[in-house]
Structure 1
Amino acid sequence: MMAALVIQWLALASLLAGGAVSLDNGLALTPPMGWMSWERYRCNVDCTTDPYNCISEELYMEMADRLVDQGYKDLGYEFVNIDVHSRGLKLGIYGDIGTMTCGGYPGSYGHIETDAMTYAEWGVDMVKVDGCYANETVFAEGYPAMGKALNATGRPIVYSCSWPAYLKDVRN
């Protein structure tokens, strides 16, 4: 346990010092930018009762159109989590390393390789992976395993790993 904690802190210190460890695969050479529904809409899919504050196909299409029409795509905003490729944007999706997502849907725990292959088959370009319903042991095993599984698909997929957001402050 202590060795894993030391490794996590060394990795974090390396990132903070500007020396990040990453794959030399040409992905995310600049920070991935785009639009994601979570901060504004959370998991509200009740468009009957709340049509102006819900996640829908119409919302995603409107946001994709705005990124393209208002010039954001030309400035590097190329991800819409979730979108269609037809507008020249990239498809991003959300997952979780735990047994469930933060919204209570099934997570990738026990299904990492299957989920990675599914993302690749769907043409996903970026995966953001949270850590709800998981613990430090699952983080230490699951996050690296997801990275390896995504790389093994042969599809270039940006991996947005939320592991550091779930680490406890060990200074106290």
Structure 2
Amino acid sequence: MILAVVVCVLAFSKAAVALDNGLMRTPPMGWLAWERFRCDIDCDNDPKNCISENLFRDMADRLAEDGWKELGYVYVNIDDCWSSMDRDNNGRLQPDPKRFPGGIANLARYLHDRGLKLGIYGDLGTHTCGGYPGTTLDKIQTDAQTFADWGVDMLKLDGCYSNASYQEQGYPLMTKALNATGRPIGYSCSWPAYQGGLPPKVNYTLLGEICNLWRNYGDIQDSWDSVLNIIDWFFDNQDVLQPAAGPGRWNDPDMVSQEHFTLMCESDSIIPD
């Protein structure tokens, strides 16, 4: 079965694999929950900070009402720990019913009404990094269509609980599945972060054909040392990373470029979409 999938992936033509969505001609800007709110799901004791639809509505209001949208900060991105621990009876991902009682589609409409875009998190593996249901190879088409049906505008696909072979198959398959939905969904791949971020393990030519942006390095932590480590790594490897970037395909140094700096280098996420 695995061999058959590998052969199928290798047989894709460039046109079939290419992420033909016309999005992110300039790097995306917005807000992502993970660095500050992590996997806080205790809405009973921490209602203002838990991962819930209220948090993302609040952040949407701040972007729309406080001038951030006009500067290009248009994405409000959900990270891990948003879903139920179980898929529904049709095998589809579903949000936690207590923390997202209105559903993801209603949340997307709330953002769209304010001129914003909704991003969501998935994981190419058996589970997400936080232990929630992952996207296995047989669920890629289902999950892509689910996100499209909900009105999602961007997908961050992580890579916990998988391996190099699985990622080699799965990330291009998700490209094809997103294209097939007919909805333009920006595609953020975490693939290179799991392969050390550099050639020869990372093929940036291929990444530029299948992803709008990609994580090269580890998560940012809530410390200045973490910020400096990310900056140093990107600086030390800019000769490889900078040529890989261009309209519709960008390096993503986690949230350093979005939250800590207004100017870094040509390939960072600093220009409004």
**TM-score, normalised relative to structure 1:** 0.81
Q: Are 1:105 and 2:101 matched, yes or no? A: no
Aligned residue-pair number: 150
TM-fit CA distance, 1:155? 0.5
Deviation at 1:68, TM superposition (A): 0.9
Distance 1:56 1:24, change over 3 A: closer
The secondary structure found in structure 2 opposite 1:103 is coil
Is the 2:60–2:116 contact (alpha carbons within 8 Å) kept by the matching residues of 1?
yes
CA deviations over 1:128-153 (Å, ceiling 9, x no partner) = 00000000001100001011110111
Query: 1:60-115: CA deviations, max 9, x gaps?
Result: 11110110111111111111124532211111100001111111011111200000
* 176, 180, 190: which one aligns with 1:152: 180
2:74 is paired with a residue of what secondary structure? strand
Among 151, 157, 160, which residue is 1:132 paired with?
A: 160
The alpha-carbon deviation at position 42 of structure 1 amounts to: 1.1
Q: By percentage of residues, which structure has more strand?
A: 1
Match of 1:46 among 35, 42, 58: 42
The whole-number CA distance in structure 2 between the counterparts of 1:157 and 1:29 is 13
Deviates more, 1:52-61 or 1:93-102: 52-61
Contact map agreement 2:21 2:186 (CA 8 A) in 1: no
Bigger shift: 79-88 or 126-135? 79-88
> Any stretches of 5+ residues in structure 1 without a counterpart?
1-21
Q: Structure 2: which 5+ residue stretches go unaligned?
A: 1-17, 79-106, 201-273
TM-score for both structures, normalised by structure 2 = 0.52
Give the distance between the partners of 2:26 and 2:149, measured in 1 at CA.
25
3-state secondary structure, aligned to 1:127: strand
- Equivalent-residue separation in structure 2 for 1:170 and 1:116 (angstroms): 29
Residues 8-27 of structure 1: matches in 2 within 5 Å?
A: 23=19, 25-27=21-23
Q: Is the 8 A contact 2:124 2:160 kept in 1?
A: yes
Tell me which amino acid in the other structure corresponds to 1:49.
N
Q: Distance in 2 between matches of 1:56 and 1:23?
A: 30
1:143 aligned counterpart, secondary structure: helix
- Deviating more after overlay: 76-85 vs 26-35: 76-85
The more displaced of 38-47 and 161-170 is 161-170
Alignment of 1:56-71 (within 5 A): 56-71=52-67
Residue identity in the other structure for 2:133: P
Counterpart residue number, 2:4: none
Structure 1 residue 49 displacement after superposition:
1.9
Q: What corresponds to 1:119 in structure 2?
A: 147
Residue in 1 that maps onto 2:120: 93
User: Alignment identity in percent?
Assistant: 65
More divergent stretch after superposition (73-82 vs 129-138): 73-82
Shift in Å at residue 158 of structure 1? 0.2
Greater mean alpha carbon deviation, residues 34-43 or residues 112-121? 34-43
Letter in 1 for 2:116: L
